[in-house]
Amino acid sequence: MALLQFRAPVNYEDHQSAFEGFLEQFKSAPAASITHALGGMTIDEDDLSDEYDFMDEDDEEQNTRRRSRAQAQEPKLKYLELLQRVSDRYEEEITIDLDDVEEWDRQLDENETPMKLVESIETNAKHYLDILSKAVDKVMPPPTRELNYKDDVLDVLMSQRTARNAALTRAADETTDPTDEPELFPAELTRRYTLNFKPRTRSREPLKALAVRQVRGEHLGHLITVRGITTRVSDVKPTVEVNAYTCDRCGCEIFQPVGSKTFGPLVECPSQDCKTNQTKGQLHHSTRASKFQPFQEVKIQEMAEQVPVGHIPRMLTILCHGALVRRINPGDVVDVAGIFLPTPYTGFKAIRAGLLTDTYLEAQHVIQHKKAYEDMSTDSKISRRIEQYQSSGHLYEYLAKSIAPEIYGHLDVKKALLLLLVGGATKVMGDGMRIRGDINICLMGDPGVAKSQLLKYITKVAPRGVYTTGRGSSGVGLTAAVMKDPVTDEMILEGGALVLADNGICCIDEFDKMDDSDRTAIHEVMEQQTISISKAGISTTLNARTSILAAANPLYGRYNPRISPVENINLPAALLSRFDVLFLILDTPTRDTDSLLAQHVNYVHMNNKHPDTEGVVFTPTEVRHYIAKARTFSPTVPTAVSEYIVKAYVKMREQQSRDEKNKKQFAHTSPRTLLGIVRLSQALARLRFSETVVQDDVDEALRLIEASKESLYQDQDGYRKDMSPSSRIYNMVRALAEAGQCRPADADDDDEDSLGMELSMKKVEDRVIAKGFTKDQWQTAVMEYTNLDIWQTAGNGTRLIFIVSEAAHMARDAELEMT
């Protein structure tokens, strides 16, 4: 019984001829596309266009420029020019934009010849790849660039094959025998390009990317877009596209196009000579005459917000060919447009699977959601908005407030997180020694101070951000695991969270809940920024150039003021010294702060947005673009600033020895602390778009390190400190003096008795006002403590000098004698 024949719903030959017309005649308007790319800004907005160029004294030259400018604004043959570049061996990828095909469809409808080309492509994409490839082969213009010795051997072979095909076709046209068909090379051998589709972006209904679990059987053969996070990327390997054989009897060259993942190699020669002579010639595989293309297998997983309650994320296999390999890295959030196809199991899997088949997505177009900083294209609209506020001098404050604006307060913590996103400059010495530039920060605090929310926000802003928790991560899960590759069955390394966050940020929550054995895996990453592996016969070193942002609770959940800070923190000194900044955030009840916090939280819950603040709040995209521009700078430390850093470091070591005696040691000050100050200073210089670190950058870095300990000294000796503005200003000025900051430029550095006791009035006033105090409060505090003989002003009000009594001198001398 004969099967019923299914008539094709469309005439493929008509569609191929329509595509040929599309490739030859479609025109794009470059002026409109440029205006769209510039955010609606036209070139002639100012008065500096060529129309009014009075610098051109030569009329002929001016007319030539006008003509060239007019030609540039004329519509161009978009695809015909692209094909010419492919023919001249400048391009290897042809991307057919379905928006352009849709516009061509509308033109055909106006001419009363409807084709529905876009719908046909989206529902039968695999077949239309072949149809469009044939149309491209037919329309391809001859090359205008001759072959030379610089060209690849493959280009020479392809040109020779194309010339031979053309000669055989001409010879066949001249013969009168219709049965004598020319033996041409397969079309795949003469193609020097890969053809891909780009899905529609301008349509009546917004095209939303599908989750992995939303891909159904009805999508088989269709062009669909799937969103997910990349979990595994295989190596790039060659896959055969056309297999070539040589017959040992007749000497014919046999070609076998391969269009699927599996194929059966030819054994007997199918040429006419062997059939006529009845000699079954053996075929020998010829690798040099075959054609291979790059191949890469990618696994994507559903996003966390796409997974329903009680389910686990699903995975989908994506196959990338040709120009699409190496476009996706592990940890990337991508939208992949591709053709959804089935593939049967092979080998032992087929026996075990029975009638089941696997499915995969053949990639056609990849959209990265969060590009790396160096891959970001500058958006003129965002650049103009940032430059608008840069001249105000408050951009550092605005950017800090733009980090998690829904969270109340923690301004110094947000400033430190902003510097973590910017980072310092990584140094590589001549002998290969590497000094990291990435900044590591630990947030240690009471429950309910929004540590986890800050971590979540940083992973959202950073181009590569990985979020994990202490209990949910093992040492292997953070570094690397050995597993068997499902494609090649080889033992391979699969990177953990720290490897996935390479050139990004790894946020680890519940840091104190980790086992000690797992926590030691982070030590090498935090300083050397590598992971050394020696297991299962694999000995290697993986890169983990990542910043660590950790959040932890004190020993007993909440901070206990009755025991020392070191006992509260309960982390090993080797790990603490690797953090550049360790913030201790305590939840202390104060009437004013609690009232403002409650109002802020209620406003966010009622209005689903943060309250309006002074200044401006930038979006995460704008913050990311600003950081991308800031990271292009590599600031250096001049000699004068270097000496200032040295003196500040010596003062910090002295302060540590005093804290150890008072049992208030917060963290050990080591040479790593000095490097941390340099990194923070470089990050601040980057924020100013400067190539040089200045003294104000160092002062702000030291202030942030001091601010990290502020919560520790709010309660002292069991009674409440005076929290009036004057007292808070005095405590702040006293801390600046002890740290050796805000000193006058011409101060005597050799006089140890006056070191840190003589301050510049202007610098101190700027610091106090930057902390949120008013000028009246500052002047009131100066007068109050002048009347108490604590300090006095000198130099016409330009200097602030602390008055040191004779008893204080004697106590200090006794302390030095004891040490």
Q: How confident is the model at residue 204 (pLDDT cuts 50, 70, 90)?
A: low
- Asked if the model's pLDDT at residue 213 lies above 60, the reply is yes
E strands within 524-604? 530-535, 538-543, 547-552, 581-585
Q: Which of 411-415, 623-627, 772-776 has the lowest mean pLDDT?
A: 772-776
The CATH number of domain 212-369, selected from 3.90.550.50, 2.40.50.140, 3.40.50.10490, 1.20.840.10: 2.40.50.140
Q: Please tell me the distance from the alpha carbon of residue 426 to that of residue 501, in angstroms, as a whole number.
A: 17
Q: How confident is the model at residue 362 (pLDDT cuts 50, 70, 90)?
A: very high
Could you tell me what percent of the chain has a pLDDT over 70? 82
Q: Please tell me the distance from the alpha carbon of residue 235 to that of residue 493, in angstroms, as a whole number.
A: 12
Q: Which residues of 724-738 are buried (b: 16+ CB within 10 A; e: fewer)?
A: ebbebbbbbbebbbb
Q: Which residues of 438-469 are buried (b: 16+ CB within 10 A; e: fewer)?
A: bbbbbbbbbeebbbeebbebbbebbbbbbbbb
Cα angle 105, 107, 110; round to 5: 110
Cα Rg, the chain, nearest whole Å: 35
What the block records as the tokens of 676 is: 């941390």
Answer whether 448's CB lies under 8 Å from 587's CB.
yes
User: Phi/psi at 434 (nearest 5 deg)?
Assistant: -120, 130
Q: How confident is the model at residue 337 (pLDDT cuts 50, 70, 90)?
A: very high
- Asked if the model's pLDDT at residue 210 lies above 80, the reply is yes
Q: Which of 51-55, 423-427, 643-647, 779-783 has the lowest mean pLDDT?
A: 51-55
Place of tokens 């596309």: 33
Name the pTM for this structure. 0.67
Condensed to tens digits (0 to 9), the pLDDT of residues 148-197 reads 777 766 777 777 777 777 777 777 777 766 666 667 777 787 888 889 99
Residue type, 136: V
Cα angle 642, 644, 646; round to 5: 70
Q: Identify which has the larger pLDDT, 222 or 40.
A: 222
- Asked if the model's pLDDT at residue 753 lies above 70, the reply is no
Q: SS3 for 198?
A: strand
Angle between helices 411-422 and 451-461 (to 10 degrees): 30
Answer whether 215's CB lies under 8 Å from 226's CB.
yes
Cα→Cα distances 294→25, 69, 236, 259, 297, Å: 32, 41, 6, 14, 11
Nearest by Cα to 468 from 450, 452, 447, 446: 452
Cα 82–chain centre separation: 30
Can you give the pLDDT at residue 764? 85
Task: Give the pairing type, strands 93-97 and 194-198.
Answer: parallel
Q: Identify which has the larger pLDDT, 517 or 694.
A: 694
On whether the 722-819 domain is CATH 1.10.8, my answer is: no
Can you give the pLDDT at residue 32? 44
What mean pLDDT do residues 367-394 have? 71
**Hey, which of 72-76, 247-251, 320-324, 605-609 has the most confident mean pLDDT?**
320-324
Give domain limits for the chain: 12-40+59-173+181-198, 212-369, 380-424+431-632+640-721, 722-819
Condensed to tens digits (0 to 9), the pLDDT of residues 520-558 reads 778 888 888 777 877 767 777 777 788 888 888 888 778
Q: How confident is the model at residue 629 (pLDDT cuts 50, 70, 90)?
A: confident
- Asked if the model's pLDDT at residue 653 lies above 80, the reply is yes
Nearest by Cα to 587 from 748, 715, 716: 715
Residue type, 414: K
What mean pLDDT do residues 428-450 have? 82
Condensed to tens digits (0 to 9), the pLDDT of residues 93-114 reads 889 988 888 888 888 888 877 8
Condensed to tens digits (0 to 9), the pLDDT of residues 306-336 reads 888 888 889 999 999 988 998 888 777 889 9
Q: Which CATH superfamily is domain 380-424+431-632+640-721 in?
A: P-loop containing nucleotide triphosphate hydrolases (3.40.50.300)
Q: Output the average pLDDT for the chain.
A: 78
Answer whether 573's CB lies under 8 Å from 668's CB.
yes
- Asked if the model's pLDDT at residue 70 lies above 70, the reply is no
Nearest by Cα to 155 from 83, 92, 93: 92
Q: SS3 for 813?
A: helix
- Asked if the model's pLDDT at residue 430 lies above 70, the reply is yes
Q: Please tell me the distance from the alpha carbon of residue 163 to that of residue 373, in angstroms, as a whole number.
A: 46
Can you give the pLDDT at residue 317? 92
E strands within 345-388? 357-368
Q: Please tell me the distance from the alpha carbon of residue 188 to that of residue 601, in angstroms, as a whole number.
A: 63
Nearest by Cα to 435 from 670, 687, 683, 679: 679
What the block records as the tokens of 293 is: 């293309």
Condensed to tens digits (0 to 9), the pLDDT of residues 554-586 reads 887 787 777 777 777 778 888 888 888 888 887
Reported as type and span, the H/E element at residue 697 is helix 695-707
Can you give the pLDDT at residue 361? 92
